[in-house]
Amino acid sequence: MALRDDPRPEAAPTAMTEVMRRLGQRTRYAKDQEIFAQEEDADLVYMVVSGAVRTTRLLSDGRRQIGGFYYAGDLIGLETGPAHRYSAEALVDSEVLVARRSALAALAGDGVLDRALLATTRRELDRAQEHILVLGRKTASEKVAGFLKDLAQRGGGERVALPMSRQDMADYLGLTIETVSRMLTHLQCAAVVEFDGRRRFTVKRWGALEQMAA
């Protein structure tokens, strides 16, 4: 595969990472364990150290929307006001640094913290707006192709791991599990990607994938 420049933005400002490392309480969460709950008081900030996390929002009738997936270096828990709008759960066994917001402010200095939080929040807003475009105006096959493309870019390597289930993908993309599965089958039949087990794939025709993502 040709070299491409890494599209990943800095996961979080260095100052933030530094402070979190010093003040954060390292905590382990098992697969599917809840890290924080919807409506819970949002006084804590979380940084993923290893593993992966999803943020989800539940409607009373069981419909679920996933807000995003977070990996090592990503900050969560700041996307909300006083109370969380989303809950967060570990996708796989994960380690997370947890810190009180007030403690962070004391150590980092208000200005530094504010600037770091602003940068992270703004990046989060960009992600959300991209997500809005996808949910509002893309077809099922564009959604799935775009999802795999993003994952492959983020992963960097040849073989890309899918840490989430088909249900998670569906709930992120506003589709059903069956539709996601069909689109994956199509992509594989078209020799755009090749799956090696259910949670691992390789991009075979990068151009085609980008085109399908539109």
Partner DNA sequence: CGCTGGATTGAGTCCGGTCAAGCCTTGTGG
Partner DNA sequence: CCACAAGGCTTGACCGGACTCAATCCAGCG
Chain residues in the site for DNA (CB under 7 A): 139-141, 165-167, 174-182, 184-185, 195, 197-199
| C-alpha distances in Å from residue 151, one per residue of 44, 65, 146 | 28, 19, 9
195 contact, one of DNA, a second copy, none, CB 5-8 Å limit per kind: DNA
Q: Please give the order of strands across the beta sheet that includes 200-203.
A: 159-161, 200-203, 193-195
Our CB check for a second copy shows the closer of 48 and 171 to be 171
* Per-residue DSSP letter, 197: S
Chain position carrying tokens 């509002």: 136
Strand partners, 26: 97
Please list every residue from 160 through 179 that binds a second copy, using CB under 8 A. 171, 173-174
Shorter beta-carbon distance to a second copy: residue 58 or 191: 58
Q: Is 1 helix (H, G, I), strand (E, B) or coil?
A: coil
Q: Which residue has the tokens 């807003």?
A: 125
Which residue, 160 or 183, has its beta carbon nearer to a second copy?
A: 183
Are the C-beta atoms of residues 69 and 53 closer than 8 Å to each other? yes
Q: Which does 177 bind (CB under 5 to 8 A by kind): DNA, a second copy, none?
A: DNA
Nearer to DNA, 38 or 181 (CB): 181
**Binding partner at 182 among a second copy, DNA, none, C-beta below 5 to 8 Å by kind:** DNA
Interacting stretch for a second copy, rule CB under 8 A, among 16-24, 126-134, 183-191, 198-206? 126-134
Tokens of 139: 């077809």
CB of 70 to DNA, least distance (A): 19
Q: Contacting a second copy (CB under 8 A), which of 8, 31, 64, 154?
A: 64
Closest approach, Cβ 132 to DNA, in A, equals: 15
Site stretch for a second copy (CB under 8 A), options 95-103, 109-117, 150-158, 192-200: 109-117
Q: How is 52-101 classified by DSSP, letter by letter?
A: EEEEEEE-TTS-EEEEEEEETT-EES-SSSSB-SSEEEESSSEEEEEEEH
Question: Residue 161: phi, psi to the nearest 5?
Answer: -90, 140
Q: Which residues in this chain contact a second copy in the complex, by CB under 8 A? A: 57, 59-61, 63-65, 67, 78-81, 85-86, 110-111, 114-115, 117-118, 121-126, 128-133, 135-137, 171, 173-174, 214
